[in-house]
Every structure is written in C-alpha cells, then in structure tokens.
Amino acid sequence: MIDSHCHLDFPAFDHDRAAVIARSQALGVRKMIVAGISRQHWPRLWNTVQTNAGLYAAFGLHPYFLAEHHNQDLLALREYLTRYQDHPKLCAVGEIGLDFLLTDLDRQRQIDLFEQQLELAAEFNLPVIIHARRANAQVTACLKQAKLPRAGIIHAFSGSYEEAMEYIKLGFLLGFGGAATWPRATRLQGVLKRLPLEHIVLETDSPDMPPAWLATGQRNSPEQLPQICQQLAAVLGISSAELAAQTSKNVQRLLNLSA
C-alpha cells in the first residue's frame, strides 16, 4: 500500500516518528507521501523524507495557512523545485489548493497563490497534490486553465460524482481516507462506489482526519491505512488485496516513485 497523503513531519510524530514509519511498513504501507504546507516547514519535511527509503516529499503552500505565506515564498518554492527537480525524493508540488469553507481566508488571494503554484508545477513537469474544500468548481476551472502535463491527486475528495468525473476527465486521481470510513459517510461512499478503480488512491492525511475507529483526539497515522483499505474495499465490494494493488499502481503511475 501507499499512503498518498500524510504529514509525518508534524510535531505530533516528533517523539516516535521512526517507530511509526517502521510499524507502518511492517503492516504493508511501504511508501508514504509527505505533503508540504508552508515554507518554514519545508526544511524539516525534507529532512524527514531522508530518514527512510519509502518516504517522498511534495513542496507547496497550503491555502489553510494563507496568513503565513508571503509573495517571496513563491520564489523560495521555485528555488526548492530547481534544486531538487532531479532528486528521486521530490514527487509533486503540494499541498496546494483552495479552501472556501473558512470564510476568513481571502478567496482571490487563495486563487492567485494556487494559480502561481500550478504554473510552477507545469514548468517543472511535476504532478500536484490538491486540497479542495467547498471549492471543487473553482479548482476545476483553475486546472482546466493550467493544462498540467502530469495532472495530480485531489486529496481527501469529498464532492459529488459529477465533480469527481470532472477531475477524472482531467486525468486526476481522487484520494480517499478516514472520512470515508465513518458510518454516516453514506453519500461519499455512494460516490466512491461509482468511480473507476484506476482513479482511486488511499491516504490517511495523518495526524489529522481520523478513521471511524479511532477515539476522539487520538493521533491518526499511516498505520491505519491497512484498515482504511479494508473498509473501503468492503464499500466497493472487492478484496482489500485488490484495492491495495490497484491504488498503489495508480499512485506509482502518476508520481513515478523510485523503487
């Protein structure tokens, strides 16, 4: 299995990061994509992915942290991408996108930042890892304009079937994780069932987005991915081995991860 989206660089893992990674890999989660959120976190993220052969990095400016980002951070992103573009550990630009759920985040500034990062992804021929909350129509519009050479992943997809198909038409993969395991997530599970398997990937978004079986406040981690895979396979009516194999193949095809 591949955890296509996690934040192993976060302080929540400072006391036992290596042990979490070792346990995850022992459970069959061989590779993990660590998504970047802001410039000040990139050095720590880069150091984190050097500690294990199964870890890969994405650098980006997350819309949720809009207040922390400065215009020169885009220049810094360009420098990072220039420096590491041929490094096998760099796999994408992310986490970038639009969050229209939080009304205090200026929408136009988010769109500007997003569009500029999409341009960088195109320029460096990298896929993107996208955060889209209450913003699928706008994200889709931006992606149509950006014409990315390698598409990307819509992480923690939570839209309608029609929105999913718009992304899929653009070549995107859709990430599913803890949110889809909750018994009340019947709408999202209904969407998942109708999607082509070749466009689905698994993720934890750990330490956030706990699956249904974790107690409130308990830290999520890539160790939860096998059980997430099992639950989603049950929703899809296939074996968890088949879902694990197909989703890994999908991530591998898009991100071209080194062995």
| Binding residues for Zn ion (CB under 5 A) | 95, 205
Is 95 annotated to bind ligand?
A: yes
205 assigned binding-site residue: yes
Orientation of helix 161-169 relative to helix 186-194, angle to 10°: 40
- For residue 93, the cross-strand partners are 59, 128
5 assigned ligand-binding residue: yes
Q: How far is the CB of 81 from Zn ion (least distance, A)?
A: 19
Q: Least distance (Å) from Zn ion to the CB of residue 95?
A: 5
**Shortest distance (Å) from residue 65 CB to Zn ion:** 11
* Element containing residue 233 per DSSP (H, E): helix 225-236
Token pair of 91 as six digits = 């796999």
- How far is residue 101 from each of residues 58, 132, 141, 230, measured CA to CA in Å? 24, 9, 18, 30
Element (H or E) spanning 174, and its range?
strand 173-176
Nearer to Zn ion, 131 or 240 (CB): 131
Residues linked to residue 30 through DSSP beta bridges, in sequence order: none
Smallest gap from residue 142 Cβ to Zn ion (A): 18
| C-beta closer to Zn ion: residue 64 or 124 | 64
* Phi, psi of 3, deg, nearest 5: -85, 105
Cβ of residue 259: shortest distance to Zn ion, in angstroms?
25
H or E segment to which residue 106 belongs: none
Confirm or deny that 155 is annotated as ligand binding.
yes
Whether 156 contacts 132, CB under 8 Å:
no
Nearer to Zn ion, 95 or 99 (CB): 95
Cβ proximity to Zn ion, 36 vs 240, nearer residue: 36
The rounded distance, in Å, linking the Cα atoms of 223 and 213 is 13
Choose between 177 and 200: whose C-beta lies nearer to Zn ion.
177
Which two three-digit tokens encode residue 104?
């205090």
Could you list the residues known to form a binding site, using ranges: 5, 7, 95, 131, 155, 205
Q: Which residues are annotated as a binding site for a divalent metal cation?
A: 5, 7, 95, 131, 155, 205
